[in-house]
Each structure stands twice: as structure tokens, then as C-alpha cells.
């Protein structure tokens, strides 16, 4: 009898109904947001970005199962700002960066670059845009052509995009090398003659050779040792000031992200869990996942020890994300509701967003 009473009080969730309601609400929100004018202050505006990869197809080519690598990611970025994107491996950070550059065609959403909606641009339309959006890859060893000299690597994009007249290309490249901390006699050398840090400087010089407005830095220092990391980060900051560059800095290293970023986005299983300014996120992390990530950063102050929040279990496969809140399988605060209902991505402080039922409850 007592058990029956308890069962009566447990809310019953119908996943099919909840999913239908959630999709309808999301579609309404997307339509509303797409109708809004572009923000003229922003160099990049990403609205409800989605990227899926097909896993299974029928004989007629119809996709029957897909992997949602990026699901409903939105943010704005101004010139001269850095957005740090953090999260565990496989959370969709790199795919987000590649979808923005259109190295992967987005499945849904809008990418507005410099006041222009480039989401459906073809490769010909993208050509002048590519010059303004560049990427620095994680591995400086495999991202440079081994048979070209540094001069050749840096001259090619300058010539292809006609940045300066042909006779001025060498002087332009030497000046760029100087800006990036590369000696002029490196011009005739090959990538294998350099250390990791020097190679990454060459990659940075190559990305900046075409005067971009936005640079996506995909874990640019994680393959380097700590002292070289600091040099590269300082170089990126110096070049940002000089050229008013916007960066998207993808990393799983929170201390590096804290140092370089103005805004931070925390991703988990393809979705943005929390987004805000660096100050807000570090002063007042809202989402349990962000708190768990921060608790794992070693604190050198012995009097100010933070308690480690341990996440149980492995990261679920993005091919089979959990229903409801996708973090519920590892969240120490998960309730029955979290297993069925997707939390709303809401603004809790000006410019500080998070998606969690616990916050919805606390903030009404």
C-alpha cells in the first residue's frame, strides 16, 4: 500500500510525447532566431549549428541512423575577441570549428560571417571567405608539406590570394616570419629541420599570411611542451592585438583557455552546456559538468583545496546519446526528470547561459 502511494507521487514521463514537444519547441525557437537581424558588432554569429554524420543508409541512400556530432550550438564573437571551447575528447569541439569553416557542410543552423550568411555558400562563393577564415591545426608535424621550404609554404597562399604584387611576396613573407619569431634564414629550410614550437610558428605564419579576420586554433599547443606552449600562446596574443584577430581556441586544457579567452563555451556530447565570459564562468560556474571540469584542475595553493567532483562512468557514445539531459548518466545530481526531459538552455546572468534542471528549479 505504501509502495503504491510512492508510485502515485512519481511523475510519469512519456518519452515519445516529450521528444515531440521538445522538437516543436526547438523548431519554433530556431525560426524565431533565424528571423532576427545579424548583429553588426560581431565578426561571427553561429545560430543553432548542427552537424550529423550518416552511420547507416538504406540501399536507396536514405539515412536510417546518424551520429549527431554538433547539436544546436549558438554563440557570437566580436573582432579582437577569443572564444575558448572546452570539453572532453569527442565532445564536438573540432567538428564545430570545422563546420564553421565549412570544411564539414553543416546539417542545420546558420553561420553568419562578417554580416553575411555563408551557411549555403558553395566552394566558389567560399573562396574569398576562406582567405578571411583560417585554421591552425593541433599537430605541427603533419600539417606542413615535407617537400616545401618555409618560404614556399608561406609564399603559396600569398600568391594564390594575391595579397601583395608578385615582386613583393618575398619581402612580405620575411616580414611575416619576423612577426612570428622566425629567423630570415629559415626561409630556405624544410619543416623536418625544426622543433615542434618552431613548426607551430610556421603554421601560425601560414594562417596569418592571407590577413584573416578569424582564426580557428584547434588545440594548437597540446602537442608542445609547457615552456613552448607559453611562447606560442603569447605569440597568438601579440598577433591578435596587432591584427585585431578573432580566435576560436579549441582546447581541453582549462588553464590555457583561462589565459587566452574572453568568452568560454563548455561542450559535452555535441551540445553547449554552458557559455559566458571568462570572468563569469570562472567566478560562478553554473553547470555540474563545468564544476566537475574545474574541480579536476590542480590548485597549487595548499590552503585553498577544491574538492574533486568525480564523474562516474564513461562518456556515452555520440551515436547513442542518452535521452533527456545528455549528461545525466554521469551527473552526481541527476534526478528522474533529467533522464527524460531535455533542460532548457537559458540565460541566468547577462551573457551567461547554461542548460540544467537544477538551475531552472533554483531560478524559477
Considering the rule CB under 6 A, would residue 327 count as an interface residue with ligand SF4? yes
Is 361 a residue that touches ligand SF4 (CB under 6 A)?
no
170 versus 323: smaller Cβ distance to ligand SF4: 323
Nearer to ligand SF4 among residue 98 and residue 328 (C-beta): 328
Which among 240, 183, 182 is positioned nearest to 212, based on CA atoms? Answer: 240
Residue with smaller CB distance to ligand SF4, 163 or 315: 315
Between 238 and 310, CB nearer to ligand SF4: 310
List the 116-117 sheet strands across, edge first: 63-78, 42-57, 108-113, 116-117
CB of 106 or CB of 343, closer to ligand SF4: 343
C-alpha to C-alpha distance for 263 and 351, rounded to whole angstroms: 10
Please identify which residue in 98, 328, 340, 352 interacts with ligand SF4, judged by CB under 6 A: 328
Interacting span for ligand SF4 (CB under 6 A) from 145-153, 166-174, 291-299, 320-328: 320-328
Residue 73 found at the interface with ligand SF4 (CB under 6 A):
no
| CB closer to ligand SF4 out of 140 and 288 | 288
Any contact of residue 173 with ligand SF4 (CB under 6 A)? no
Could you say which of 30, 248, 257, 331 contacts ligand SF4 (CB under 6 A)?
331
Tell the smallest beta-carbon distance from residue 113 to ligand SF4 (Å).
Answer: 32
Interface characters, 339-358, with ligand SF4 (x: CB under 6 A): ----x------------xxx
Site string for ligand SF4, 280-319 (x = CB under 6 A): --------x-------------------------------
Among 158, 338, 345, 348, binds ligand SF4 (CB under 6 A): 338
Instruction: Select 133 or 281, whichever has its Cβ closest to ligand SF4.
Output: 281
Residue 151 binds to ligand SF4 (criterion: CB under 6 A): no
From residue 295, give the alpha-carbon distance in Å to each of 4, 187, 254, 282, 287. 41, 45, 11, 11, 12
The radius of gyration of the chain's CA atoms, rounded to the nearest angstrom, is 23
CB of 111 to ligand SF4, least distance (A): 28
Strand 271-277 and strand 263-268: pairing? antiparallel
Residue closer to ligand SF4 by CB (options 129, 358) is 358
User: What residues are paired with 78 via a beta bridge?
Assistant: 42
Positions touching ligand SF4 (CB under 6 A) are: 288, 325, 327-328, 331, 333-334, 338, 343, 356-358
Amino acid at each position: 500500500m505504501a509502495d503504491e502511494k510512492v508510485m502515485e507521487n512519481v511523475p510519469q514521463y512519456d518519452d515519445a510525447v516529450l521528444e515531440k514537444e521538445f522538437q516543436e519547441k526547438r523548431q519554433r525557437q530556431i525560426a524565431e532566431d533565424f528571423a532576427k537581424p545579424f548583429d553588426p558588432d560581431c565578426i561571427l554569429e553561429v545560430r543553432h549549428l548542427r552537424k550529423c554524420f550518416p552511420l547507416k543508409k538504406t540501399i536507396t541512400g536514405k539515412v536510417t541512423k546518424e551520429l549527431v556530432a554538433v547539436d544546436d550550438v549558438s554563440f557570437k564573437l566580436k573582432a579582437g575577441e577569443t572564444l575558448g571551447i572546452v570539453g572532453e575528447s569527442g565532445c564536438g569541439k573540432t567538428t564545430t570549428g570545422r563546420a564553421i569553416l565549412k570544411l564539414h557542410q553543416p546539417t542545420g543552423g546558420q553561420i553568419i560571417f562578417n554580416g553575411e550568411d555563408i551557411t549555403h555558400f558553395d566552394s566558389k562563393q567560399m573562396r574569398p571567405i576562406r582567405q578571411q577564415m583560417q585554421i591552425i591545426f593541433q599537430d605541427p608535424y603533419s600539417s606542413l608539406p615535407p617537400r616545401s621550404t618555409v618560404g614556399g609554404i608561406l609564399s603559396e597562399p600569398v600568391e594564390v590570394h594575391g595579397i601583395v604584387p608578385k615582386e613583393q611576396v618575398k619581402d612580405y613573407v620575411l616580414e611575416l616570419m619576423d612577426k612570428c619569431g622566425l629567423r630570415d634564414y629559415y626561409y630556405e629550410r624544410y619543416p623536418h629541420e625544426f622543433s615542434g614550437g618552431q613548426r607551430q610558428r610556421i603554421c601560425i605564419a601560414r594562417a596569418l599570411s592571407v590577413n584573416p579576420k578569424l582564426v580557428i586554433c584547434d588545440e594548437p599547443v597540446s602537442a608542445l611542451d609547457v615552456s613552448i606552449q607559453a611562447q606560442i600562446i603569447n605569440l597568438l596574443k601579440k598577433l591578435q592585438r596587432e591584427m585585431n584577430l578573432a580566435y576560436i581556441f579549441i582546447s581541453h586544457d582549462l588553464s590555457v583557455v583561462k589565459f587566452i579567452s574572453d568568452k568560454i563555451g563548455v561542450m559535452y556530447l555535441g551540445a553547449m552546456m554552458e557559455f559566458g565570459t571568462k570572468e563569469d564562468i570562472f567566478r560562478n560556474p553554473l553547470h555540474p559538468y563545468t564544476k566537475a571540469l574545474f574541480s579536476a584542475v590542480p590548485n597549487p595553493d595548499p590552503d585553498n583545496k577544491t574538492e574533486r567532483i568525480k564523474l562516474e562512468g564513461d562518456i556515452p557514445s555520440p551515436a547513442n546519446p542518452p535521452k533527456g539531459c545528455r549528461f545525466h548518466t554521469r551527473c552526481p545530481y541527476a534526478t528522474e526528470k533529467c533522464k527524460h526531459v531535455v533542460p532548457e538552455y537559458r540565460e541566468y546572468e547577462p551573457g551567461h547561459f547554461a542548460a540544467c534542471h537544477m538551475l531552472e528549479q533554483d531560478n524559477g
